[in-house]
């Protein structure tokens, strides 16, 4: 049988879970950063009324603001 001092036992019992939590946290952060979260086919627009930025499909000509509910239209930037 292995003899362990009380303070060493408590140190090990506190250190192991903390190390496990830190390693798990670093792993999850690494996996989150490697994922590509770029939505394809969407653009960011800003509501003319409430100035709320939101995403919508780039094929939509008329869309609705999710915050204030106003209908917006894509403005051509040809001029």
Specify whether 51 is located in the same domain as 69. yes
Q: Is residue 48 part of a domain?
A: yes
Q: Is residue 65 part of a domain?
A: yes
Return the pLDDT at 26: 94
Task: Give residue 21's domain range.
Answer: 1-36
Give me the tens of pLDDT residue by residue for the chain, a chain 79 residues long: 889 899 999 999 999 999 999 999 999 988 877 665 666 778 888 898 999 998 888 888 888 888 998 888 877 554 4
Return the pLDDT at 13: 94
Return the pLDDT at 56: 85
Q: Can you give the pTM of this predicted structure?
A: 0.43
Cα(35)–Cα(6) distance, integer angstroms: 45
Give the number of other Cβ atoms within 10 Å of residue 2's Cβ: 3
33-66 per-residue burial string, b: 16 or more CB within 10 A, e: under 16: eeeeeeeeeeeebebeeeeeebebeeeeeebebe
Q: Which residues on adjacent β-strands are paired with residue 54? A: 45
Specify whether 28 is located in the same domain as 47. no
């Amino acid at each position: 049988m292995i003899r362990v001092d009380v303070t060493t036992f408590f140190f090990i019992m506190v250190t192991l879970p903390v190390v496990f939590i830190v390693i798990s946290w670093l792993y999850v952060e690494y996996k989150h950063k490697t994922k590509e979260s770029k939505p394809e086919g969407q653009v960011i627009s800003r509501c003319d009324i409430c100035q709320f930025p939101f995403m919508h499909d780039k094929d939509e000509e008329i869309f609705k603001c999710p915050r204030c509910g106003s209908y917006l239209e894509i403005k051509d930037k040809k001029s």
